[in-house]
Amino acid sequence: MPEVLFSVDQSKRFREQARLGHNRWHPDIPPVATVRPGSEFRLECREWFDGDIRNDDSAEDVRGVDLSIVHQLSGPIAVEGAEPGDLLVVDILDVGPVPQEEGPVAGQGWGYTGIFAKVNGGGFLTDHFPDAYKAVWDFHGQEATSRHLPGVRFTGITHPGLIGTAPSHDLLGTWNSREAELIATDPDAVPPLALPPNPENALLGALEGEQAEAAAREAARTAPPRENGGNQDIKNLTRGARIFLPVFVEGGKLSAGDLHFSQGDGEITFCGAIEMGGFLDLGVDLIKGGMETYGVTTNPVFFPGRVEPRYSEFLTFVGFSVDEEGRQHHLDSQLAYRRACLNAIAYLTKFGYAPEQAYLILGAAPIEGRFSGVVDIPNSCATVYLPTAIFDFDIHPSADGPQRADRGSCPKA
Amino acid sequence: MPEVLFSVDQSKRFREQARLGHNRWHPDIPPVATVRPGSEFRLECREWFDGDIRNDDSAEDVRGVDLSIVHQLSGPIAVEGAEPGDLLVVDILDVGPVPQEEGPVAGQGWGYTGIFAKVNGGGFLTDHFPDAYKAVWDFHGQEATSRHLPGVRFTGITHPGLIGTAPSHDLLGTWNSREAELIATDPDAVPPLALPPNPENALLGALEGEQAEAAAREAARTAPPRENGGNQDIKNLTRGARIFLPVFVEGGKLSAGDLHFSQGDGEITFCGAIEMGGFLDLGVDLIKGGMETYGVTTNPVFFPGRVEPRYSEFLTFVGFSVDEEGRQHHLDSQLAYRRACLNAIAYLTKFGYAPEQAYLILGAAPIEGRFSGVVDIPNSCATVYLPTAIFDFDIHPSADGPQRADRGSCPKA
Amino acid sequence: MPEVLFSVDQSKRFREQARLGHNRWHPDIPPVATVRPGSEFRLECREWFDGDIRNDDSAEDVRGVDLSIVHQLSGPIAVEGAEPGDLLVVDILDVGPVPQEEGPVAGQGWGYTGIFAKVNGGGFLTDHFPDAYKAVWDFHGQEATSRHLPGVRFTGITHPGLIGTAPSHDLLGTWNSREAELIATDPDAVPPLALPPNPENALLGALEGEQAEAAAREAARTAPPRENGGNQDIKNLTRGARIFLPVFVEGGKLSAGDLHFSQGDGEITFCGAIEMGGFLDLGVDLIKGGMETYGVTTNPVFFPGRVEPRYSEFLTFVGFSVDEEGRQHHLDSQLAYRRACLNAIAYLTKFGYAPEQAYLILGAAPIEGRFSGVVDIPNSCATVYLPTAIFDFDIHPSADGPQRADRGSCPKA
Amino acid sequence: MPEVLFSVDQSKRFREQARLGHNRWHPDIPPVATVRPGSEFRLECREWFDGDIRNDDSAEDVRGVDLSIVHQLSGPIAVEGAEPGDLLVVDILDVGPVPQEEGPVAGQGWGYTGIFAKVNGGGFLTDHFPDAYKAVWDFHGQEATSRHLPGVRFTGITHPGLIGTAPSHDLLGTWNSREAELIATDPDAVPPLALPPNPENALLGALEGEQAEAAAREAARTAPPRENGGNQDIKNLTRGARIFLPVFVEGGKLSAGDLHFSQGDGEITFCGAIEMGGFLDLGVDLIKGGMETYGVTTNPVFFPGRVEPRYSEFLTFVGFSVDEEGRQHHLDSQLAYRRACLNAIAYLTKFGYAPEQAYLILGAAPIEGRFSGVVDIPNSCATVYLPTAIFDFDIHPSADGPQRADRGSCPKA
């Protein structure tokens, strides 16, 4: 077990920890530790809603979540010699749930998937699912089951939803201006188009006093992925993955969090993976000047790990860019993927699942979502690959018809 | 070898064949043959541009292509007992290039990938690549190489780009009206937003006289995927795949064409796969009433085949929904995928490829394109997985820098 | 389609072809063609029993087979510049069944698997299955089914069972003396311990007269794998594989045959794969002096292809080196594998298959056989991996017990 | 984290633990705990040599190991309701190294692979490697590297080498008599043909006094796999695997140990995997009467896990049953596998590894060993699949020759 550089007491809230992490991106947050290239270390991580979601049969907690507190990030870790223009090589050595009993928080043998209410964040299919729902998952080694989703058991594709370097002041300015411009196009949208800086509940590590207040006013929210990596929610950044992150500030300042026991491509329910607290073991190295050398300037590149769950049979659903009202859109893959997901949900309901149960399964199980066609005017074609082996009944279409059964229910609020 | 139900003489153009196929969708096109459920048969297929693209070192042919002639479809095949509401079960038993020397057409040991000029169809990255380009590929069993793209060799994921049932008159009307509505929003767009019915060069099988003329005026173009399947360009519909197609007319009327020796997810260069003529062996069966029983009403579902090329290491590029000018868009996966592809191209140029060569590689090789995050406002996150083993040099990022070399060139026009 | 260098008329016996192949190994057999390194070409191949096995419901033909006629080898092909000590690089570009109707021979849409009678060759489990059995398989693209083995459908792992270079005179002498020595230990064994040279039915290509007679007396039988490759029956030498064969004579003299539509590891029924005639497309190249440079002197090395059937769930059976009578043997993996196969057969009979049906399935389906432990005195541990998806019923062990049904029967003689 | 039913203090020897485990098989060893079907629990495990092997650069410790002390088994765990004739369903939920620093024992961030001296146990290639060697591996999450084997890094296939139920008195008697009979054929063999009961260093859990002494005289050694599972050393019994173990005594009495961070098929160096202490999380269930119902009477059956390391390119070495002196053996797969391994070793030495380094790599890396042909008289054909991606240099054969370099050395004694 590598040295713990960021320690979390899972019985306490993130802002009550001995050493403070952060929930905003800002270049001035001081590193909690400095390591040499070649080092390996552990970060302990708090689950993204800081313990607000409980292992129970009510979705009240999901309905009332406060997005201003996310994400709880462990770090930053500075790397000696890292300078703007370098690539920070990060090996995701291991990632797992909370190893010991320290309190009743997600990650201690269980996790959750939620659907946000439309008035409180929404999600990919929020017009179809405007209410809040929750499913609690039990961990069995690397597999998960849920009492709210009977008939399903799968191997998780465990990963950090969020990992990134600190932005420079310039880059932070770019983020803030471009996102403000978008928000300005429809400032009252529900859910909002983007989340502007918000000093409320901002945590900025060891920053204090006026400096902290100033930073809180401009620090970027952690919801989206950006040039620094960030909340990419790429399920394949699993154990054994190697990611090359652009460096924008001295030391790189690496932070991570938002651990997922599993997730489907897209994390479609927004609170969509199986969320958990836990640990993250990392190794770091440097490619000096690598951003220019390799043309890796606007996004990370990475190698997925070698231990992804192995499924070989998938029932695949297709969608294209005509919307639910029959209106034709022009090469809109986001829409095509939504239609493919809706098709998958419609299919699963034929076996007895409620639509929201099917939605939760697609958010959490290791489904694959693919851009199949993006040029065949006017329709993009998107596909969702659902591994058939995650169900303990047969989901193949056949002349016999679907094996309909009582599949229970999940809490709603 | 199963019985040939649609035969093609590869030395003749599609409209000169003994038995005519079609290049538009229309419910009235008479079947060329009727088979029982449980049957297996072969369709011979003409490459999508009907032999206009040559095995040479000029891209003049690609620049001048006439989109009104595509796609050359073999069929329709009627299935006894198929009625609207059924699911037509289609096994893709085998698919391959032209087995014998009958003339100098793509499919006879070679195929091509093209980039269309912006003024003539364009493609996914047409603003970056407004000119026409071509790469010719040589087949070595199931592997391909190209003199225009040295250093690359991969196993193709061979599939029909286009397979579908006939639309009903109602469905055809829906298509025409929704697409007309889109076109009307910008009728002069270059490239066009969608392709309206066009009697010029329309082929409608055995339809004749006035009936043919009337049909030609309303028959749907074959470019996009739609409810009947159609030009889905899903690379995973490869050998051994089973697809469940909605039936909209008596007999189902199955047609197919646009064979691809290989293709990357998205078929991003539009003329993007490795195009070829060849053969397609199919098996058919029925699930009576399956559309309603399984909720498969707006799109096919399918199982991919078991013989996809096996690669296990991928260098992955990320993109999100900020455009090339730095403008923030709201959860636009189409844009995110474009940025991811541009990132991959930028990377490959560091090894000596011209950008258009890299673009052609991404269009033809079995890359995977994934919806990684679709909810993290405001940024969608898309990823392109490039198998490292398709290159005969090392493309890993490292402190040593890229192995730059002369990688030749591809023809431009 | 590459040039055909060895053509076969599938309506005629191997010894009646216009150009003669061979069924023995001998250095003096003249090449049928000479190619340059870098060439690609096609060999047409006759099935290993030269058409003696019929597509019917009797096993009389299997019972009476004459092992002196096997294997029908297409070649030899000489490679310019190949000298003893080189490695011949052979790409298996494609392999498939007979493409056209030329006569009722295996490979024309069907193939067969046989169990030899103990008195006529036997097989891996001959003491348990002393009689002859047969199963006929129908091809559906790359998948196979058998009316004699209902409930099973799988993707074949198509490959040449036999491919090799010619031995030198010295090497041939070594083979003959070491095998004679083994035979001498029990000359009357049934089945025999090895097959000595046998002029009866020997075919030696273009050799004639006295030279042919002399060669026939010493030419090696083709049953076993040896230093030159030969009848390795390695199922993974499938499409896309690259094999490096030692060169022992000028030109290398490459020959191949014994095509298999599919086979399980071990080819346990001896006539065990799905046997067929067909075609084999090869590419050749040279590594000069490669035997010494790479230490590849006593056996080929190879890379398997990238299109092996993709199964991800396997029910695995274990065996160790205690024999059926309970006698303990010392680290005998051959015995351990036999016990593992017998365990798999016992299991499948619980679902309604006759033991010989189960045996035939294990011989033909893409099962994997592994050396799991070879050092834990006194027991070797061997495992057989059976892909569960090849059955159209559920073969998982469960508290509900096996889904027993009438599984038909296969012919016996 | 499930409840710990067998706890180990890694700073103490196995016989000094608060609760004693066992290192022999005997029906009378009392269970340490009893659980219900459906339970999940953790066993902590001591590495198989009880801490005798150190993280240093000497192989003295390996040379002097005392085989009478192995294996340290955690358990037995009784399952309520389990009776002879049942199948015990065991899910391998998780397995990993020692999670915390408790002392300098294998499993705490490192493990070892050893080659036993011929006079002290030997191994698969003991005639070629009569001396003792050792390699120490460092763990990086799920990957391993070794300072004694530079240039190699791979993802481990972590598993318990040993898991099994207790034998009945009858079965124990059968073991002892059949193994004694084998030993009697050559009682002075070096290494011995099998290991007879040996009271010296026997540990029998909570058995005491005369009962313990009597049991120690007849209790079976743990080296081999047997009807109860035992030391199967099947690398694929990794996370997520489900094994069905025959039950021979009331409660089943499940025990496990001999954890491996990784292992190649065969565990060819005997002390061959990467050995470690650690933890094992299991789930248990019952199939009443399952042995007869499913015909699973002489061996376990199992499903491998879904998280095996994913490699897709393998350089494969072949061997057949002619021994190193050129003598022909009859269908001897054990010998064929030895020759294949020797061929792999010869190949790797061309790149600069010492033969013993290559041997250690083959023992520890996730190589696959297959029975390719077992019927082609007189030669069995065995194959070793070596994943090319575990090396940080190119091991493909090519006209350029091998990339020879100084590859360091491993300690010898």
Examine the pLDDT at A100 and tell me if it is beyond 70: no
* Per-residue model confidence as pLDDT tens digits over D228-270: 999 999 999 999 999 999 999 999 999 999 999 999 999 999 8
Tokens of C281: 């497309």
Q: C341 phi and psi, to 5 degrees?
A: -65, -40
**Alpha-carbon distance B315 to nearest alpha carbon in chain D (angstroms):** 14
List the subunits that have 3+ CB pairs under 8 angstroms with A: B, C, D
**Residue D130 near chain C (CB below 8 Å):** no
Mean pLDDT of A102-110: 83
Instruction: Round to whole Å and give the CA distance between C261 and C267.
Output: 12
Partner residue opposite B94 with nearest CB, options C91, C141, C283: C141
For tokens 């890694």, what's the residue?
D10
Q: What is the pTM of this model?
A: 0.96
**Alpha-carbon distance C101 to nearest alpha carbon in chain D (angstroms):** 31
Examine the pLDDT at D216 and tell me if it is beyond 90: yes
Instruction: Round to whole Å and give the CA distance between A409 and A151.
Output: 12
**Alpha-carbon distance B293 to nearest alpha carbon in chain A (angstroms):** 7
Contact residues for A188 (Cβ-Cβ < 8 A; gap 6+): none
Examine the pLDDT at A102 and tell me if it is beyond 60: no
CB A366 within 8 A of CB A261: no
C324 to chain D: closest CA residue: D298
Q: Do C141 and B101 touch (CB under 8 A)?
A: no
List the subunits that have 3+ CB pairs under 8 angstroms with C: A, B, D
Q: Do C381 and D234 touch (CB under 8 A)?
A: yes
**Alpha-carbon distance D309 to nearest alpha carbon in chain C (angstroms):** 13
Examine the pLDDT at B162 and tell me if it is beyond 70: yes
Tokens of B112: 């091509």
For tokens 């199964």, what's the residue?
C311
CATH no. of D4-303: 2.60.120.580
* Per-residue model confidence as pLDDT tens digits over C311-360: 999 999 999 999 999 999 999 999 999 999 999 999 999 999 999 999 99
Nearest to B314 by CA among A238, D239, D167: A238
Chain B residues near residue A343 by CB distance under 8 angstroms: 295-296, 298-299, 301
**Residue D120 near chain C (CB below 8 Å):** no
**Residue B311 near chain A (CB below 8 Å):** no
Examine the pLDDT at B115 and tell me if it is beyond 80: yes
* Per-residue model confidence as pLDDT tens digits over D198-207: 999 999 999 9
Chain D residues near residue B311 by CB distance under 8 angstroms: 312
**Residue B234 near chain A (CB below 8 Å):** yes
Examine the pLDDT at C102 and tell me if it is beyond 70: no
Instruction: Round to whole Å and give the CA distance between D117 and D96.
Output: 29
Residue C270 pLDDT: 84
Residue D101 pLDDT: 65
pLDDT band at B94 (very low <50, low <70, confident <90, very high): very high
Examine the pLDDT at C103 and tell me if it is beyond 80: no
Q: Do A373 and B191 touch (CB under 8 A)?
A: no
Examine the pLDDT at D196 and tell me if it is beyond 90: yes
Mean pLDDT of A15-38: 97
Examine the pLDDT at C100 and tell me if it is beyond 80: no
Instruction: Round to whole Å and give the CA distance between C134 and C127.
Output: 17
**Residue B7 near chain A (CB below 8 Å):** no
CB A67 within 8 A of CB A222: no
- Distances in Å between the Cα of D309 and the Cα atoms of A308, A312, C373 are 8, 15, 19
* Per-residue model confidence as pLDDT tens digits over B262-308: 999 999 998 889 999 999 999 999 999 999 999 999 999 999 999 99
**Residue C100 near chain A (CB below 8 Å):** no
Residues D344-353, buried b or exposed e (16+ Cβ, 10 A)?
bbbbbbbbbb
Partner residue opposite A307 with nearest CB, options D93, D94, D309: D309
Partner residue opposite C328 with nearest CB, options D181, D378, D398: D181
Residue D1 pLDDT: 80
List the subunits that have 3+ CB pairs under 8 angstroms with D: A, B, C
Instruction: Round to whole Å and give the CA distance between B246 and B227.
Output: 8
Q: Which amino acid is at A400?
A: D
**Residue C385 near chain A (CB below 8 Å):** no
Examine the pLDDT at D144 and tell me if it is beyond 90: yes
CB atoms under 10 Å from CB of C16, counted, come to: 10
Examine the pLDDT at C99 and tell me if it is beyond 80: no
CB atoms under 10 Å from CB of B200, counted, come to: 8
Chain B residues near residue A191 by CB distance under 8 angstroms: 377
* Per-residue model confidence as pLDDT tens digits over A351-387: 999 999 999 999 999 999 999 999 999 999 999 999 9
Q: Do C372 and D268 touch (CB under 8 A)?
A: no
Mean pLDDT of A169-175: 98
Residue A103 pLDDT: 59
Q: Do D311 and A306 touch (CB under 8 A)?
A: yes
Quote the ipTM score.
0.96
Average pLDDT of chain B to the nearest whole number:
96
Instruction: Round to whole Å and give the CA distance between B12 and B99.
Output: 16
- Distances in Å between the Cα of A345 and the Cα atoms of A121, A313, A390 are 21, 18, 15
Mean pLDDT of A399-407: 95
Cβ under 8 Å to A: C residues 202-231: none
CB B159 within 8 A of CB B17: no
Q: Which amino acid is at A252?
A: G
**Residue A389 near chain C (CB below 8 Å):** yes
pLDDT band at A272 (very low <50, low <70, confident <90, very high): confident
CB B374 within 8 A of CB A266: yes
Tokens of D41: 């629990």
Residue D99 pLDDT: 77
**Residue D275 near chain C (CB below 8 Å):** no
**Residue D1 near chain A (CB below 8 Å):** yes
Instruction: Round to whole Å and give the CA distance between B50 and B70.
Output: 8
Q: Do C343 and D301 touch (CB under 8 A)?
A: yes
Examine the pLDDT at C101 and tell me if it is beyond 80: no
Mean pLDDT of A256-266: 97
Assigned CATH class of D314-390? alpha beta
Mean pLDDT of B133-157: 97
**Alpha-carbon distance D109 to nearest alpha carbon in chain B (angstroms):** 26
Domains A4-303 and A314-390 share a fold: no
Chain C residues near residue A313 by CB distance under 8 angstroms: 312, 389
Examine the pLDDT at B102 and tell me if it is beyond 70: no
Residue C1 pLDDT: 80
Per-domain boundaries in chain C: 4-303, 314-390
Instruction: Round to whole Å and give the CA distance between A405 and A395.
Output: 12
Q: Do B308 and C309 touch (CB under 8 A)?
A: no
Residue B99 pLDDT: 77
Q: Do B232 and A318 touch (CB under 8 A)?
A: yes
**Residue B138 near chain C (CB below 8 Å):** no
Examine the pLDDT at D274 and tell me if it is beyond 70: yes
Residue C272 pLDDT: 82
Partner residue opposite B301 with nearest CB, options A267, A317, A333: A317
Examine the pLDDT at C228 and tell me if it is beyond 70: yes
* DSSP state at residue C69: G
* Per-residue model confidence as pLDDT tens digits over D103-133: 578 999 999 999 999 999 899 999 999 999 9
Examine the pLDDT at D102 and tell me if it is beyond 60: no
- Percentage of chain A lying above the pLDDT 70 cut: 99
Q: Do B310 and D311 touch (CB under 8 A)?
A: no
* Per-residue model confidence as pLDDT tens digits over B32-88: 999 999 999 999 999 999 999 999 999 999 999 999 999 999 999 999 999 999 999
Examine the pLDDT at D345 and tell me if it is beyond 80: yes
Instruction: Round to whole Å and give the CA distance between B137 and C109.
Output: 30
Residue D100 pLDDT: 64
The number of helices, as runs of H, and strands, as runs of E, in chain A is: 6, 20
Cβ under 8 Å to A: D residues 24-43: 40
* Per-residue model confidence as pLDDT tens digits over C352-403: 999 999 999 999 999 999 999 999 999 999 999 999 999 999 999 999 999 9
Mean pLDDT of A84-103: 89
Examine the pLDDT at A69 and tell me if it is beyond 80: yes
Q: Do D307 and A311 touch (CB under 8 A)?
A: no
